[in-house]
Structure 1
């Protein structure tokens, strides 16, 4: 039995809470760490219920109900101090087709507001994807905020990143905090400031090199010439080499590796592939974000191009031909990567990309890699890390640590299900930092 759960049975609770859209319990871990007692949780997904009950209910010496479907919830049979919940985020994400409140899952916001209004907790903490705050969704977001405010609460909201709270994960999420209007000074709540912590992946991922690397600085002009790509992430510095390598035939970049980099190809074949890559997204070839290019068009783009040259690239499984359309890359999906590898991070990286429920295959180099020559960077990575297979996929336990879940937490036995559940979870240290400041208003 986990000692944390034993302690919870002995110590009287400092406050009570209800765990809505509980998933596998990220909110709960954070709040129990501050002495909270959960009076009930709401979850309908069977695998999540199984994991939640195994970790929190199985050993608890009390009768704690699953409150069931949010759409059926009304007045609780108890008074509660705090309500928390990660309302389903898919309606506000690209993967969820951006339907917002028109999506049945998006309408769960209305049920959340209704439950808060009826039960009038002292406060609430709600979490969702950053996309909820985007301009395209802003009217709906403002409507949600207005409804929560009208339910008798002072509101504050802010986008927080997990990397600011001790986790090496670049994960933006919007948090909404409400404090009931009769709570003294509740209108003065402020979100926590970033912690001065800079862990690296090797602090969280087992089986990789623990060697730190002092990164060399470059002039941005040396790395990018006169055009720095506009879509670089928070941890892609313009004066340093990236800490990851993207495997994709449909994108390009400082550390993007293509299939023609990984197998024997001539300079001419590389030239053909590079020209197809640079032109495949042009709208003259179709409306999609990448389209097959007809032979006639390719012959205008590439001097003296012979159809036999394209056939050779087809034999190497780099290109394929779509009848009546043209030629495109076999590896045409970014999420699929190349040969089952989408990204490989270096162990000394400051942050991994946002972990998602789709469970993209993300790998970490197991061997230290410290090449500081920007011209040889990709090729040496291929020689030292990729070809010798000095890399490993992150495990469910790695994923749990990257979300701030403690090692005592028992994960689902199926790795794919475990990663999906963790990708949907809330980062525990972020909630813990918010709750620490929020609880000061009535404890």
Structure 2
């Protein structure tokens, strides 16, 4: 096993470290400013005095190391962070990451960030980051990797940026991103105190499940010829596992038809140019014979519709991710994947009962009667969140469940890091005896960040 040294920037609770230590890495320093994340990190890793490097923005001196890694705070690039990019102080931490690389001159580095950094709207920002690494002497590549593709039952797509020092180009040319190796695991395998059960998966004609419009591509949660292993609570779309508010509340057949009619027609241009338009009583009456203002007002009282100041009507639950009554998705225990864990929490739940569906026409009602109404679903625990992220059961979670959930939502998945770092190791780059102080610039040797301002021209708002 090749031995190598590394520094862990923006270390969080140690997702990078778990993987690198397994591969023979030796940590010589870490940087994290979140007090509770530090508590978890120090509980799990026994570091000598002086290894805590403190605030990355204040680091002025570093030892020579083989590798620098880190998950640069990413909320400013994510959907949850409203994509503020370099307008957000957290986005500007990239310049400190670049400064540290210039200072320490590692043979290689690995940085992780949200996939939003690859969004076309952030393209100029990503190119600026890559060019800035090139300016300090690094050959850089980047690629999206999804935790699901590396044995972790979670849909977590992240950009991983890998750089090799310019005198290590022979090794850089040998580097390849890891290939996917799926694991035959279900969400139920990770639940605490849960009795596993084998479920026979039935195959169906896709037209029976999706009607005339069979999607060209399916996301990781869905199989084109099987019943979905999750249910989504949403009034703005339809499907064999979509639960509408009129499915849950006490409604008449006429009220159900009104709800379906509004859902199917609210995006049509005849009612307006918005992506979802309020409709008048007359508009709705044209679609549902006999529909009256009284019918619509009853649906307002039942919290299915909302009435605009202009007297028009729209679906109350018109934002997909908000779900219905605080529930967005419920995953069955036989699902092979769970949604992305986030630091801000989730409206996604796990069912504590299996559902053996063999009839698409009855599937939704079976779920409502067997799982939803008796409330046989719950959010994941801290330990389950750790498992969904690929952390070992030996990892000690923070005492506060709220803090632990936030920390796992911020963390990098260790199995992904391990697969990626193994590919870096395969190049043989860490067997080279050439150290950073033999190659580095004056700024690297003195530990100053002189000239780094030149790497920050015309920051592009995202």
TM over 0.5: yes
Q: Work out which of the residue numbers 149, 152, 157 in structure 1 matches 2:142.
A: 157
Distance 1:105 1:43, change over 3 A: same
Residue 25 of structure 1 is matched in structure 2 by 14
Distance 1:335 1:311, change over 3 A: same
Residue 164 of structure 2 is matched in structure 1 by 179
The alpha-carbon deviation at position 190 of structure 1 amounts to 0.9
SS state at 2:102 partner: helix
Q: Distance in 2 between matches of 1:216 and 1:373?
A: 9
Q: Distance in 1 between matches of 2:269 and 2:408?
A: 38
Residue 72 of structure 1 is matched in structure 2 by 58
Q: Work out which of the residue numbers 411, 425, 432 in structure 2 matches 1:425.
A: 411
Q: 2:241 matched to 1:252?
A: no
Q: Distance in 2 between matches of 1:150 and 1:124?
A: 15
The alpha-carbon deviation at position 435 of structure 1 amounts to 1.3
The alpha-carbon deviation at position 325 of structure 1 amounts to 5.3
Q: Distance in 1 between matches of 2:151 and 2:102?
A: 34
Is the CA contact (8 Å cut-off) linking 2:210 and 2:239 kept in structure 1? no
TM-score by length of 2: 0.86
Distance 1:79 1:180, change over 3 A: same
Residue 349 of structure 2 is matched in structure 1 by 363
Residue 219 of structure 2 is matched in structure 1 by 233
Distance 1:29 1:224, change over 3 A: same
Residue 8 of structure 1 is matched in structure 2 by none
Q: Distance in 1 between matches of 2:98 and 2:142?
A: 15
Q: Distance in 1 between matches of 2:226 and 2:110?
A: 38
SS state at 1:352 partner: coil
Q: 2:136 matched to 1:147?
A: no
Q: Distance in 1 between matches of 2:398 and 2:180?
A: 31
Is the CA contact (8 Å cut-off) linking 1:243 and 1:345 kept in structure 2? yes
Q: Work out which of the residue numbers 397, 405, 408 in structure 1 matches 2:391.
A: 405
Q: Distance in 2 between matches of 1:290 and 1:53?
A: 50
Residue 263 of structure 1 is matched in structure 2 by 249
Question: Tell me, which stretches of 5 or more residues in structure 2 are unaligned?
Answer: 432-462
Q: Distance in 2 between matches of 1:42 and 1:185?
A: 28
- 1:189-245 CA distance string (max 9 Å, x none): 111111242211111122334113232222222222221245741231211111100
Residue 315 of structure 1 is matched in structure 2 by 301
Residue 107 of structure 2 is matched in structure 1 by 122
Residue 290 of structure 2 is matched in structure 1 by 304
Aligned length: 428
Q: 2:66 matched to 1:81?
A: yes
Q: Which 4+ residue blocks in structure 1 deviate beyond 6 angstroms?
A: none
Residue 457 of structure 2 is matched in structure 1 by none
- Within 5 Å, give how 1:103-118 maps onto structure 2: 103-118=88-103
TM-score by length of 1: 0.89
Q: Work out which of the residue numbers 186, 204, 210 in structure 2 matches 1:200.
A: 186
Q: Distance in 2 between matches of 1:305 and 1:177?
A: 60
Is the CA contact (8 Å cut-off) linking 1:293 and 1:327 kept in structure 2? yes
Residue 53 of structure 1 is matched in structure 2 by 42
Is the CA contact (8 Å cut-off) linking 2:305 and 2:315 kept in structure 1? yes
Moved more, 280-289 or 36-45: 280-289
When the two chains are superposed, the root-mean-square deviation of aligned CA atoms in Å is: 2.3
Q: Distance in 1 between matches of 2:79 and 2:151?
A: 27
Q: Distance in 1 between matches of 2:112 and 2:146?
A: 12
Moved more, 319-328 or 39-48: 319-328
Distance 1:353 1:18, change over 3 A: same
Distance 1:275 1:64, change over 3 A: farther
